[in-house]
Chain A
């Protein structure tokens, strides 16, 4: 147990929250988060030390990432601010190929001497490992882009907003939830800023400033008479945006079936907290689901996680090839299935695309962590498996001439590898709203927001819960349900997709915490969809007595 790096926030329970703080991150004062540590010119000079040292020590390729990773967490419960955590992690990681083998070393000593030493260590490690290497590294070409910059198009830098203002907003939401009958509320604001400089022997020098924001709460209602407690998580999404996400702009509010309000590119935390308290009470009083086959109508705030687990992960090429066999697992979506060009991953309604460019998404960057310009590509087209996610040392295996640009490291001290880009379900081509979709369902469940999730290591069998469940009877919402989870098989599930709402309903959701690799790294990723219908899915009842 002691190796678990949990930071349990009081009251979140069940390890619900794991802060993505790198082991190298240290606490700093908030003012320092706005400092510039070194300028681009200095970074370029330091980067050249690594590239030159690597080459003169026998490396055939080298890259360096000089990174400054900032986090701010404002942690509140009910009427108090429990903690304000500011962390900064600054250092660099050098990756080389020597004798056909990768080597990596990192240091927080970002000086010419420190970088020189780390680079020599990386070459030494590569040479030691070359002795047991059986597949020499082969990189697809990449253009040398020269000097480049990219910045997340934010309106308000959340790190510049006074902490007092941010804490007051959360406390206002908490007060509203308590007024509406919540027993507890844990309300947190996560802010991330990655300032990363990349240079490689291919001739790129890329400076990027990436921002992410995630307000997140859990409202708990305890019913002392029955001894039941139920939770309702916030309907917010983690976003690749600045503080403007918290403006609560009315044009981004969506009146959804079941008389609930959902949010698009702007979130109203105070309104959502009030609704959460009301809905948590309704969950306690809700009918326990009758197990059986139902047509599921899955809202984008729910479906993103099913896409993540059953499409995003199995189509990571390193998993398919076996590089993740010892941890995350392998994949059912093997190369032989892809080679047939007629493997029905889903029904004809299903087109799933990958990208690192959608505005507001967590994956959006100008260039990935090995200097490849980002783009969009299809994974499943009209139901057929057409591609995977691949980086420079894998792309040749699937006959791609260039990398997909989805290489990422969560810190300067971590080695970059293939990480999931945004993966989304393309909206339906015909005009269709969620209300119209529901009106055609005889016996179904409408599921809002992600809940419990679990899938096997080859991504066949999965089980998902949710937050709100509404029974659909003869085309109408017939009240709330509880104790709902659905179990299916990935290919069967996506082939049961009969309708997808149009692009007006398309929204992103996602996670800061996609875990992969050993040592494990966290990556932030978004998944978009419109509301979609899946016919005849197996629903189980999860109520137990202990």
Chain B
């Protein structure tokens, strides 16, 4: 049984803490049950399940700490793991960045668990795959896809009296549909905490339609274009930007948020004033754990508001050096959208490119957050408010900072990879070369 109830977890963790002879002790008890199915060439290729529980104990004497883990939970094993952590702590060098454990925190109520997802069976997964494969093969299209689900619990306790517990579930689904003549490709992604919101047949239809629509793409010259980015296209570029918003990096002068001559861009306007980005672990559509792995409470917080940088992320050590409150890395990202539908955004575009997704995005220059990557699985030319024809894929070289400064229109939000991201119309997006890839 890889999922312990709140009371089972509390009982084990209390026992662990009671064995401590160190200055401090912190214990994390986590477990998961997961399963997945993968298919390609219109047939299932691999499928499996996994299950695991681990107890990690960190003991410290002053700034010397040691960590040991175990996956047996009888009293003798629990005592053994505590003794081992203490022995290791005594042998370790002092870590000048070691932070004492937190006292009890107040956490909001978690929304991350769904009973339906926890009950997924191998038969469900096989059926979900069949619901994606069958409509594809009926249309001369080849399906490849992946569905994975997990049910997790996380709990922690320390000698300062902090106890935290959370259960979460998630299901992720992606499918790539390719026309059998090899000239068209479409893709779709869906992710939820609650599997009852997932319909792999509906999702697969989107990808199948895109595959058929993208057949026999025409080459157009690379250059600067107005683009409509589907949320799945911009999600990773934006994610890369947030991932680089560490306050320490910025203070050290090695971040896109560092300023010439010293200082950071915190509190300064970075992007278009219509850009509002925040995190909220209690959002019903994209819930995240109410606490971080070291027990900090997550709450609703602005990251960019009115185009101005409102928060960078401070770990507890760096916050203590800078005399500010720690700002934990967010569990989700929510970018405010507008009311425009995709159809309206297309209708409103004189000349532009509709992008389903980007692929193989890699950093080119961390100073300017320049990234390169390519369009994939459905790229279309728009003229006078209508999709005219599919176009060959492009390579881009672009920075999300420049992109958010070139914002034209915000559309509706969609959940992508645990975040809420709107459709966006961006002007002067830089495509640097063409690719023959389908």
Contact of B253 among A82, A131, A224, A460 (CB under 8 A): A224
Q: Which residues in B have their C-beta under 8 angstroms from that of A104? A: 46-48
User: Chain B residues with Cβ under 8 A from A101's Cβ?
Assistant: 44
Within 8 Å of chain A (Cβ to Cβ): is B50? Answer: yes
Q: Which residues of B contact A150 (CB under 8 A)?
A: none
Inter-chain CA distance A413–B52, complex, in Å, is: 10
- How many Å lie between the Cα of A461 and that of B434 in the bound state? 7
- Asked whether any CB of chain B lies closer than 8 Å to the CB of A2, the reply is yes
* Residue numbers in B under 8 Å from A538 (CB-CB): 433
Q: Which single member of B70, B260, B374, B417 contacts A461 (CB below 8 Å)?
A: B374
Which one of A51-59, A295-303, A400-408, A450-458 contacts B? A450-458
> Judging by beta carbons under 8 Å apart, are B369 and A546 in contact?
yes
Structural contact, B126 and A132, CB atoms closer than 8 A: yes
A5-23 interface with B by 8 A CB criterion: 6, 8, 10-11, 13-15, 23
CB-nearest residue of chain A to B172: A3
Cross-chain contact of A326 among B146, B248, B435, B436 (Cβ < 8 A): B146
Query: Are A518 and B437 interface neighbours, CB within 8 A?
Result: no
Among listed A24-32, A253-261, A266-274, interface-contacting one: A24-32
> Provided the pairs A101-B44, A102-B46, A322-B40 are in contact, do residues A456 and B360 lie with their beta carbons within 8 angstroms?
yes
A458 touches B437 (CB 8 A): yes
Inter-subunit contact B68/A29 (CB<8 Å): yes
Contact A542 B370 (CB under 8 A): yes
B133 at the interface (CB under 8 A from A): yes
Partner of A184, one of B144, B252, B432: B252
Q: Are the C-beta atoms of A81 and B47 separated by less than 8 Å? A: no
For the complex formed, measure the closest distance between the CB of B44 and the CB atoms of chain A, giving whole angstroms.
Answer: 4
A542 in contact with B418 given A1-B333, A29-B66, A132-B130 (CB within 8 Å): no
Judge whether B254 and A327 touch: CB under 8 Å: no
Q: A125-B122, A129-B37 are contacts. A454–B244 as well, Cβ < 8 Å?
A: no
A399 touches B (CB below 8 Å) = no
Interface centre among B52, B434, B438 (most CB of A within 10 A): B52
Type the 1/0 row for A117-140, where 1 means its CB is closer than 8 Å to any CB of B. Answer: 000011011001101111100000
Looking at the assembled complex, report how far the CB atom of A293 sits from the nearest CB atom of chain B, in whole angstroms: 14
* B43, B172, B315: most-surrounded residue (chain A CB, <10 A): B43
Task: Assess whether B438 is in contact with A458, with CB atoms less than 8 Å apart.
Answer: yes
Verify A332–B248 contact, CB threshold 8 A.
no
- Chain B residues whose CB sits within 8 angstroms of the CB of A26 once the complex forms: 54, 56, 69-71
Contact A11 B248 (CB under 8 A): yes
Most chain A beta-carbon contacts within 10 A, residue among B54, B71, B146, B435 = B435
The answer on a CB contact under 8 Å between A453 and B123 is: no
Residue pair B146, A327 in contact (C-beta under 8 Å): yes
Please judge, given known A-B contacts A23-B52, A132-B129, whether A463 and B372 are in contact too, CB under 8 Å.
yes
Contact assessment for A545 and B254 in the assembled complex, using a CB-CB cutoff below 8 Å: no
Q: Could you say which residues of chain A place their CB within 8 Å of the CB of B315?
A: 10
Determine the chain B residues whose CB is within 8 A of the CB of A229 once the complex forms.
253-254, 258, 366-367
A-contact 0/1 string along B350-385, CB 8 Å cutoff: 000000000111111111111011101000000000
- A329 CB contacts on chain B under 8 angstroms: 359, 376, 437
Are B436 and A489 touching (Cβ within 8 A)? yes
A294 to B289, CA, bound (A): 52
For chain B, the count of residues having a C-beta within 8 Å of the partner chain is 110
Task: Known A105-B48, A222-B253, A327-B146; judge A1-B43 contact (CB<8 A).
Answer: no
Shortest B79–chain A CB gap in Å is: 16
Q: Which residues of B contact A15 (CB under 8 A)?
A: 240, 243
Kindly provide the distance from the CB of B426 to the nearest chain A CB, expressed in whole angstroms: 15
Contact A2 B288 (CB under 8 A): yes
Find the A residue at minimum CB distance from B331.
A2
Residues from 78 to 133 in B contacting A, C-beta threshold 8 Å? 84, 87-88, 92-93, 95-97, 122-123, 126, 129-130, 133
Q: Which of B11-19, B155-163, B173-181, B319-327 is near enough to bind chain A?
A: B173-181
Q: Is the CB of B122 within 8 A of A128?
A: yes
Contact of B332 with A1 in the complex, beta carbons under 8 Å: yes
Q: Is A456 a contact of B254 with CB atoms below 8 Å? A: no
Q: A29-B68, A227-B260, A546-B402 are contacts. A106–B48 as well, Cβ < 8 Å?
A: yes
What is the count of residue pairs linking A and B with beta-carbon distances less than 8 angstroms? 272
Q: In residues 298-350 of chain B, which contact A (Cβ within 8 Å)?
A: 315, 330-333
Residue-wise interface mask of A (456-468) relative to B, using a CB-CB cutoff of 8 A (1 in contact, 0 not): 1111110101000
Q: Decide: B47 and A2 in contact? CB cutoff 8 A.
A: no
- Decide: B399 and A546 in contact? CB cutoff 8 A: yes
Residue of B170, B242, B372, B417 contacting most chain A CB atoms (<10 Å): B372
Report the minimum CB–CB distance from A277 to chain B (whole Å): 15
Docked complex Cα distance between A236 and B423 (Å): 43
Q: Judge whether B148 is part of the interface by a CB distance below 8 angstroms.
A: yes
Interface membership of A285, Cβ < 8 A: no
Partner of A2, one of B244, B254, B393, B418: B418
Q: List residues of A (150-200) whose CB comes within 8 Å of B's CBs.
A: 167, 183-184
Residues in chain B near residue A45, CB distance under 8 A: none
Known contacts A27-B69, A456-B435, A322 near B256 by CB under 8 Å: no
Query: Are A129 and B370 in contact (CB-based, < 8 A)?
Result: no
Taking the complex as formed, is B255 at the interface, i.e. its CB lies under 8 A from any CB of chain A?
Answer: yes
Query: Is the Cβ of A456 less than 8 Å from the Cβ of B359?
Result: yes
Least CB separation from B122: chain A residue: A128
A480 at the interface (CB under 8 A from B): no
B38 in contact (CB, < 8 A): yes
Q: State the Cβ distance, A256 to closest chain B Cβ, in Å.
A: 25
Chain A residues with CB below 8 A from B255, complex form:
13
Q: Is B142 an interface residue (CB 8 A)?
A: yes
Query: B66: which A residues are within 8 A, CB to CB?
Result: 29
A321 to B175, CA, bound (A): 16
> In A28-62, which residues have CB < 8 Å from any B CB?
28-29
Report the Cα distance A327→B175, complex, angstroms. Answer: 9
Give per-residue flags for B18-50: 1 if the beta carbon is below 8 A from chain A beta carbons, else 0: 000000000000001000111111111111111
Q: CB of B203 within 8 A of chain A? A: no
- With A1-B330, A81-B95, A326-B145 known as contacts, the answer to whether A133 contacts B43 (CB < 8 A) is yes
From B38, B87, B133, B288, residue with most partner A Cβ within 10 Å? B38
| Distance from B267 Cβ to chain A, minimum over Cβ atoms (Å) | 17
| Interface residues in chain B, defined as those with a beta carbon under 8 Å from any beta carbon in chain A | 32, 36-52, 54, 56, 66-71, 84, 87-88, 92-93, 95-97, 122-123, 126, 129-130, 133, 142, 144-146, 148, 170, 172, 174-176, 178, 187, 191, 239-240, 242-244, 246, 248-249, 252-256, 258-262, 288-289, 315, 330-333, 359-370, 372-374, 376, 393, 395, 397, 399, 401-402, 417-419, 432-438
A326-B40, A463-B395 given; name 7 further pairs at CB < 8 Å. Answer: A1-B239, A13-B246, A29-B66, A80-B95, A125-B48, A224-B262, A487-B433
A-B contact pairs, 7 of them (CB 8 A): A3-B172, A29-B66, A102-B47, A105-B48, A106-B50, A124-B122, A128-B123
